[in-house]
Structure 1
Amino acid sequence: MSKDAFAAAALALTAAAENGSNMCLSFLNALPVTHAAISTLGAPFGSETICASDSQAARLEELQIDFGAGPCWDALRTRAPVVDADLSEPTESAWSLLREAIRDTGILSLYSFPLAIGELNVGALDLYATTRAALNLPLIARASALADLAATPVARQVIRRLPHLDTDDTNPATYSRREVHQATGMIIAQMRVNADDAQALLRAHAFTLGRPVREVAADVVARRIKFTRDDVVDRD
């Protein structure tokens, strides 16, 4: 994949996230893989397939979710890509039966990439191919970079469906909404993201803690919580 192709894929991924189209197709169009799927995994968002390039990708993803183990789970746990470049080769793993089930569908290589925003676990991107070693090291690195770009849009998509987290809107004395706007501005500066992504990060962290957004915003404004690219939340 050339630099131009990578840039085009990044733009397509951003556009898909904004217009609600299938984000998985951005990976399928940019990389020599056959299927792509994105799922949230475990806490805090639960385990659910968010998008799939096609029905087979969706079925493959459900296999991993139902099994409760596999490359996507390993990728998120280790925060590193998991590569199985040749499923026809026997190997010892904790998910050998799952590996056989995936191979039986005609998939010969698969690649899983973690989706995370700092400390916040989101899920994983899975790429499946019907050829062995479909991705070389440079392509794996670029696919990983694209997966990083997808993490925040995926979190935003899930958060839109969550119950409203502000539980005390009837009491304006508790926390001013001004603090939410101030916290959003601080997260924009700290993370260098746009306002929508900053609000998504704020809501995601509040959801993780089980606290109202305004309460967490107050901690951000008071600098008790700081968002950084390496470590989303630092408590002073």
Structure 2
Amino acid sequence: MAEILRLLQTDVWSDAVSAATGPLGVDGISVVAGRTAGDAEILWSSGGIADGFEDLQRMLGEGPGPDSLASGTTVRVHDLARARHDRWPALLMEASDLAVQAVFCFPLRLGAITLGVLTLLRQVPGPLTSTQGDDANALAAALTKRIMDLGFPLLQTSEEPDLPHHHAVLHQATGMVSVQLAVPLAEAMLRLRAHAYSNSLNLTDTARDIVSRRLRLAPEPHPTSDVDDADED
């Protein structure tokens, strides 16, 4: 998994995600980005059951993935056959044709902001091991940074003009956020972009507000425990 996380920072990042099926002990992986289930887009999928399951969730508008995206929490379903029938009635009725038995959804989260979901699928029921759960959380964190670094169109709030002043104010704001929040410059830039994205703001205008002291980003809240949506007894 350490090698996979390293490869995520290179041009073969999608190959690295595919290779994660082995150490995570799953049969399919997908990565979705978006603010809500309605505008979520599949950024990458291992194909097969992963494509089928994501298509089903998008068509029906329900499932563990949309729930994880909406709540910003992990949703683990160890055995779909034992899940509450009123939770995702249409999905549970159709998912049996895909041979999906277990689903694990990890939010791609930056502080309180959820950018997307990492979904792991298994064709046999059963929970992830504690090591696999830790690896999945590490993979979700690395994918969050990768998505922000790649600047997918879905996450961009506006066109950024190629002007010297634009770059100057952005660098100045990044430095100020770095000092105020006591975080590295790279993380400060991510926090800037995440704030602009979550509030549908122009990135340059957000930077100007910080430089002029009209805006001060709040420290990242303490993490809360993820919701473990175990199978129903």
Alignment TM class, shorter chain as reference: 0.7 to 0.9
Q: Does residue 131 in structure 1 map to residue 121 in structure 2? A: no
Contact map agreement 1:45 1:158 (CA 8 A) in 2: no
Tell me if structure 2 keeps the 8 A contact 1:165–1:207: no
Residue in 2 that maps onto 1:67: 60
Q: Deviations over 1:40-85 (max 9, x none)?
A: 1335993100111224312211221222221012122332211111
Distance in 2 (CA, whole Å) between partners of 1:51 and 1:191 is 33
- 1:205 alignment partner in structure 2: 195
Q: Which residue of 2 aligns with 1:182?
A: 172
Secondary structure of 2:29's counterpart equals strand
Residue in 2 aligned with 1:106?
Answer: 99
- 1:230 matched to 2:224: no
- Cα distance in structure 2, aligned partners of 1:105 and 1:140: 23
Structure 2 stretches of 5 or more lacking a match? 223-233
Distance 2:170 2:141 in 1: 26
Q: Which has the higher contact order (CA 8 A, sep 6+)?
A: 2
How far residue 98 of structure 1 moved from its aligned partner, in angstroms, is 0.8
Change (3 A) 1:30 1:92: same
**Equivalent residue number for residue 229 of structure 2:** none
What's the % identity of the aligned pairs? 24
2:50 to 29, 50, 57: 57
1:121-158 deviations in Å (ceiling 9; x for gaps): 21111100111115134432432232123212123335
**Who is 1:86 aligned against?**
79
Matches within 5 A, 1:134-213: 134-159=127-152, 162=156, 164-166=158-160, 177-188=167-178, 190=181, 192-193=183-184, 195=186, 198-213=188-203
TM-score (normalised: structure 1): 0.76
Task: Structure 1: state its 5+ residue gaps.
Answer: 1-5, 232-236
User: Is contact 1:112-1:125 (8 Å) kept?
Assistant: yes
Mapped to 2, the partners of 1:191 and 1:67 lie a distance apart of: 43
Distance 1:53 1:151 in 2: 18
Kindly report which structure 2 residues correspond to 1:111-122, keeping only aligned pairs within 5 A, or say none: 111-122=104-115
Letter of the aligned partner of 1:115 in structure 2? L
Q: TM-score normalised to the size of structure 2?
A: 0.77
Letter paired with 2:8: A
Relative distance call for 1:99 and 1:219 in structure 2 (3 A) is same
- Tell me how far apart the structure 1 counterparts of residues 18 and 178 of structure 2 sit (CA, whole Å): 28
Aligned Cα root-mean-square deviation (Å): 3.1
Return the alpha-carbon distance in structure 2 between the equivalents of residues 205 and 20 of structure 1. Answer: 28
Which amino acid in 2 is paired with 1:21?
W
Check the 8 A contact 2:8/2:143 in 1, yes or no.
no
Question: What whole-Å deviation, never above 9, does each CA across 1:77-136 have from its counterpart, x for those lacking one?
Answer: 332211111123252333122123223211111111111111322111110011111513
Seen in structure 2, the aligned counterparts of structure 1 residues 12 and 137 have a Cα distance that, compared at 3 Å, is closer
Distance 1:81 1:67 in 2: 20
Give the match's secondary structure for 2:103: strand
Q: Answer whether contact 2:110 2:194 (CA < 8 A) is retained.
A: no
